[in-house]
Structure 1
Amino acid sequence: MKKKIFVLVCDGVSLRNFAYTSFYKLGIAQGYDVVIWNATSFNLEQLNLKEVKINNAKPSAFSDILKTALIRIELNMFSIRDKDIIYHKYKFPLSFKTIKASVKSLIIKTYIALYNSEKGILKIRKKIASSERKTSHYKDCRAILVAEKPDFILSTSQRALTAIAPLTAAQDLNIPTASFIYSWDNIPKATTVVTTDFYFVWSMYMKNELLHYQRYITPNQIRVTGTPQFENHYDDTLIEPKAAFFKIHNLDINKKYICFSGDDITTSPKDELYLRDFAKAVRSLNKKEHNLGVVFRKCPVDFSDRYDTIIKEYNDVIVPIEPKWEKMGAAWNSILPTKEDYKLQTNIIAHTECVVNLGSSMVFDYVAHNKPCAFIDYNYLNASNSCKEGVYVYDFVHFRSMPSSEAVIWLSNPNTMADQLEAALENPSETVSKAKEWFEIINVHPLENACKRLWEEIDGVVHLE
């Protein structure tokens, strides 16, 4: 009888990583009954994927309070352990804007005061599971599991609060569970919210991080698999001919394009000014007969109009290509990628020379195509034309995995940006070489075998005696 594997998907990036890659088909080919346990608003049956929907995946309001307290307590403990204040920078400020928000924040602060210790972390985790058992979300998930009888559940993210109820229900029914670490920067940020039997990570580097930060986890619970996130760069069937791609998106076939990848408004609140500076630099290079253009892809969860004025002013160089994500709700994690966007992003990377952004993992997408990345390394103060070298995000722990500062081009001043871009385009090989070293640290290679490794580890867990 086929083993039934439930793949729990609660957000857009997980949808992209596990529904749009070869993961599902490979599991079917290996004789598994693969079911997407779908907590998103997206209809996966239209992609010919077998799914079981989780309707009204609503966690307890008390669980949300406990989750925030847990994250802040863990960051406090990380800071004490490592004697490093950077962990406090990961904390989002508590809100006191309304009476309701103030009450919630005061309760959070109370739980932090009561459980601010290593032992307190484990107690809070137990309280979250207990809180979720009281919800209709838990009861619905438990009923699904009793009816469907899966042999194993893989949560495609370790950070989703909505994943706790289904995973707790599975553990209460003695169904083995695993969680996949969502992103390369997540572990030091204390986003390992779910507790499972096993953890699938990108690399040995990430395994060591997990053991360092989450000390209740043992080495034999962690499996190094890599991530399906970059699989698209090794699928030639996704790449459109350059001429066709340029025609569809109104690009000039005679120009070389650089991608400016926008960031979310929280990480980069003055991102539109970076786009302005970048467009100015490209204009100045074009005066030197470089014939360059800018493909602007904004952050898919940014629906603001903050770039519009800049795009209009610099329409001689900037061509925006909108991400193909669908907004299914108000929350950021209800904005979901389409299969078309999976292909679109692949082609933008394939048909541009390099990428400019503020510290995103796009550096790895581009190095997969042997292309360089430039990180913006200055920030704007109160006035739009007053900037200061350095951006605090590069102090974050995940950037310490970079083996050499030469893995990216550092754009530290808008006045020197043109010269730095010119040098990068003329001789990208050294930067690309160093970026590849970095990529090999944070993600096990070969990249295209990630789904295969995932299924090997699932197979090993499912057949444990």
Structure 2
Amino acid sequence: MPNKKIFILLPDGVGLRNFAFSKFYQLGIDEDFAITYWNATPFDLKDLGFEEIKIQNSASHPFTELYKNARKHIELSKSVARNKDTVYDSYRFPFAYDGIKKALKSAFTQFLIITHSTERGLSHIREQIKNKERKTLYYRQSLKTLQKEQPALVFCTNQRPMTAIAPVLAAQDLGIPTATFIFSWDNIPKATMVVETDYYFVWSDYMKQELLSYYPYINQDQIFITGTPQFESHFDSSQLRSRVAFFEQNKLDLDKKYICYSGDDVTTSPNDPKYLEDVAIAIRKLNKRGHLLGIVFRRCPVDFSNRFDKVLDDYQDVITAVAPLWEKVGTEWNTILPTQADADLQINTIAHTEMVINLGSSMVFDYVAHDKSCAFINYDVASKNLKNWSVKKIYDYVHFRSMPNKTAVLWINNPESIAGIIESAVVGDRPFIKSAQQWFELINEHPPAEASRRIWTSIKKIIS
């Protein structure tokens, strides 16, 4: 009987939504796979009825982070040279010098960058990462787990975390096939690749071509185009609540239509409270003209700041906050974990609002899955503390260049235009939905509801 035991490696919490809170697990069970979550998160998957093995010690080698950061800078420099485009410099994190320890780390990383800027040097950096990780207790424990369990495949849910390197290496050293899922639509140009696996699962042919371009050591036959499970739930009507139930639960007015303002984190959109206020002012204007409208404010799940408090207090007549149901188990952004309850909440928020407004979010695809429109904030606000920040920087990122044409979203170029844009999206004929759908089809393999099934089909090919 063939070995159908699959290890789903969760190096951090961001893979929970795609691979635990979706139909992915049940589809695998239906295909007679024996699924074990190799779980480095604090989330207890046994509560969901899943088989799991907890990773108790996921400490990387102290030098791995330095080599990883050097690798990122070298890859970004190569992208600048190859594409003659300085946008890649905006993906760099600044070096820290506050304190001796940080200064020494920064100095060593910069030394690595200067001395390893060639292809041969980059290859040496990649090998050093592997060599360092093979010296860790984490790697040795991963070997023991794999020798005992003997899975047919280790499937990593995210290509970015350092905590994925040791278990992937252990599997490869034992001859067990490995694969990783490229987590987000913007990840590849940012040089976020940390793990190197035997196979790569991507959202689309567009992402496949990106992977081949940025990582020439990857071959075509190593890549599977599957789509992402994160959009599947929009096509599952069983998760939808009635409008009445959703409105009652979230204290919304049944006589009103609502738009969603989807917040960003403070780094991406430091002026988000002002943008929310501008939208609230526009809604008040529309209501004076006879509309009955309100705003559902869904903050970024990893933003626990109080920066929106004043706006929410001043505009209680038009804004209702519907907070994401994530669990905070640590101080870092990747220790704030999604939940099944929040997955359901997001689906119903989209289903029962008319459109979404935000600054450059992938929510455009969530809303077009419901044939609804997205408006992107596209203007700056005066701020003494943010002289170097601009929306132009956000929309210059490489992943936005995939937009087939500029009509895929509505562009809010100034506060005065907000009311008219909302009005056209809520009561107009919405011709821009077609362009947004074309963008969605380019970014994510269609039909989007079949992503998990395509992933299992690809896994079946690998292990056979």
Q: Is contact 2:424-2:430 (8 Å) kept?
A: no
Cα distance in 1, alignment partners of residues 142 and 59 from structure 2: 11
Q: Is contact 2:10-2:39 (8 Å) kept?
A: yes
Residue by residue over 1:170-227, the C-alpha shift from the partner in whole angstroms, topping out at 9 and shown as x without a partner, is: 1111100011000001000011111000000000000000000011101111110111
Cα distance in 1, alignment partners of residues 23 and 357 from structure 2: 29
Residue by residue over 1:211-253, the C-alpha shift from the partner in whole angstroms, topping out at 9 and shown as x without a partner, is: 0001110111111011101011011111001101100100000
Residue by residue over 1:320-372, the C-alpha shift from the partner in whole angstroms, topping out at 9 and shown as x without a partner, is: 01100001112111110111001000000000000000001000000000000
Q: Is contact 1:273-1:384 (8 Å) kept?
A: no
Q: Which has the higher mean CA deviation after the structures are superposed, 122-131 or 385-394?
A: 385-394
* Pairing 1:184-333 to 2, within 5 Å after superposition: 184-333=185-334
CA deviation after TM superposition for structure 1 residue 117, in Å? 2.1
The structure-2 alpha-carbon separation of the partners of 1:382 and 1:268, relative to structure 1 and needing over 3 Å to count, comes to: same
The structure-2 alpha-carbon separation of the partners of 1:420 and 1:181, relative to structure 1 and needing over 3 Å to count, comes to: same
Give the match for residue 359 of structure 1. Answer: 360
Q: Is contact 1:22-1:451 (8 Å) kept?
A: yes
Residue by residue over 1:250-308, the C-alpha shift from the partner in whole angstroms, topping out at 9 and shown as x without a partner, is: 00000000000000111111111111111111111111111110000000011111001
CA deviation after TM superposition for structure 1 residue 42, in Å? 0.2
Residue by residue over 1:20-44, the C-alpha shift from the partner in whole angstroms, topping out at 9 and shown as x without a partner, is: 1111111111011111111111000
SS in 1 for 2:176: coil
The structure-2 alpha-carbon separation of the partners of 1:385 and 1:93, relative to structure 1 and needing over 3 Å to count, comes to: closer
The structure-2 alpha-carbon separation of the partners of 1:27 and 1:296, relative to structure 1 and needing over 3 Å to count, comes to: same
* Pairing 1:325-404 to 2, within 5 Å after superposition: 325-383=326-384, 390-404=391-405
Cα distance in 2, alignment partners of residues 447 and 358 from structure 1: 24
Cα distance in 1, alignment partners of residues 414 and 57 from structure 2: 48
SS in 2 for 1:266: coil
Cα distance in 2, alignment partners of residues 55 and 164 from structure 1: 15
Q: Is contact 2:22-2:232 (8 Å) kept?
A: yes
**2:416 is equivalent to residue 412 of structure 1:** no
TM-score, length of structure 2 as denominator length:
0.97
Q: Is contact 2:152-2:176 (8 Å) kept?
A: yes
The AA in structure 1 aligned to 2:350 is I
Cα distance in 1, alignment partners of residues 43 and 144 from structure 2: 22
SS in 2 for 1:75: helix
Residue by residue over 1:5-29, the C-alpha shift from the partner in whole angstroms, topping out at 9 and shown as x without a partner, is: 0011122231110001111111111
**2:121 is equivalent to residue 120 of structure 1:** yes
Cα distance in 2, alignment partners of residues 225 and 231 from structure 1: 12
SS in 2 for 1:379: coil
Give the match for residue 179 of structure 1. Answer: 180
Cα distance in 2, alignment partners of residues 386 and 85 from structure 1: 19
- How many positions carry a matched residue from both structures? 463
Q: Which has the higher mean CA deviation after the structures are superposed, 426-435 or 285-294?
A: 426-435
CA deviation after TM superposition for structure 1 residue 61, in Å? 2.2
**2:28 is equivalent to residue 31 of structure 1:** no
Give the match for residue 65 of structure 1. Answer: 66
The AA in structure 2 aligned to 1:310 is V
SS in 1 for 2:6: strand
Note the residue ranges of structure 1 that are not aligned, 5 or more in a row.
none
Q: Which has the higher mean CA deviation after the structures are superposed, 424-433 or 28-37?
A: 424-433
Runs of 4 or more above 4 Å deviation: 383-390
SS in 2 for 1:13: helix
Cα distance in 1, alignment partners of residues 424 and 107 from structure 2: 53
Cα distance in 2, alignment partners of residues 68 and 430 from structure 1: 44
The AA in structure 2 aligned to 1:13 is V
Cα distance in 1, alignment partners of residues 421 and 26 from structure 2: 44
